[in-house]
Amino acid sequence: MKSYTKSQLAMMAGVSLRTFSRWTREHAEELRAVGMTRHTHILPPKAVKIICDFYGINPDDP
């Protein structure tokens, strides 16, 4: 897993950035534990993995 921005992950998931932000709020505790806050722009790999696992996002798909 590598780092991605919130915008990149939202685009991969096919949702708006606003919807993506709502998703991350639902899992704020788990994401804070790996170093992500609501102001984090570039998400650390551990946070990307958690988000991808929760929402079925495959960043390796073109």
Task: Kindly state whether residue 34 falls inside one of the protein's structural domains.
Answer: yes
Quick one: pLDDT at residue 62? 57
Domain range enclosing 10: 4-55
Task: Kindly state whether residue 40 falls inside one of the protein's structural domains.
Answer: yes
For 10, phi then psi, to 5°, come to -60, -40
Q: For the chain, how many structural domains are there in total?
A: 1
Helix, strand or coil, per DSSP, at residue 20: helix
Task: Kindly state whether residue 28 falls inside one of the protein's structural domains.
Answer: yes
Task: Kindly state whether residue 37 falls inside one of the protein's structural domains.
Answer: yes
Q: CA 61 to CA 24: how far, in whole Å?
A: 21
Quick one: pLDDT at residue 60? 79
56: buried, middle or exposed (CB in 10 Å: 19+, 13-18, 0-12)? exposed
- pLDDT tens for 3-29 read 999 999 999 999 999 999 999 998 899
Quick one: pLDDT at residue 38? 83
Task: Kindly state whether residue 61 falls inside one of the protein's structural domains.
Answer: no
Quick one: pLDDT at residue 1? 81
Q: What is the mean pLDDT of residues 45-52?
A: 93
Eight-class DSSP state of 37:
-
Task: Kindly state whether residue 9 falls inside one of the protein's structural domains.
Answer: yes
Task: Kindly state whether residue 60 falls inside one of the protein's structural domains.
Answer: no
48: pLDDT strictly greater than 90: yes
